[in-house]
Amino acid sequence: MLYIALGGSVGAVSRFLMSQLINRTSNDIFPWGTIAVNLLGSLLIGFFVELFSRTVVPDNLRSILIIGFLGAFTTFSTYALESISLLRGNEIKLFIQNILIHNVLGLVFVIFGIYLSRIVIKYIFQGMI
């Protein structure tokens, strides 16, 4: 549990900082910060789950990265709230774009993460595992 809490605290702070930085630079009502952290989180979870399934990794490291860090780094609730805010603000086009970007690209980024992990395993860890 301590490992999960440690990873979660780092993930939450990382999400906040990255999201704030991106939102400050975009000057837009579209939630680019949330999209960025969720897509990066999708890529990373695909990468690490695939990597960990093919290598020997301590359970504590899995807990820190996947459950703790990535669980706190990504945010479904903020995505849902921002989507509803766009809808309430009559920003129908942005609402639909937000839904599609998160769901479609989120899946694509997980698949891309898995693919990247396989490349890393094949070319970098070849002979080590």
Q: Could you read off the pLDDT tens digit of each residue along the chain, which spans 129 residues? A: 899 999 999 999 999 999 999 999 988 899 999 999 999 999 999 999 999 998 888 999 999 999 999 999 999 999 999 999 999 999 999 999 999 999 999 999 999 999 999 999 988 877 655
**What total of structural domains would you count in the chain?**
1
The pTM score is 0.90
Q: Is residue 89 part of a domain?
A: yes
Q: Is residue 129 part of a domain?
A: no
Q: Is residue 68 part of a domain?
A: yes
Under a CB-based contact definition with an 8 Å cutoff, are residues 5 and 60 in contact? no
Helix axes 2-26, 32-54, angle to 10 degrees: 140
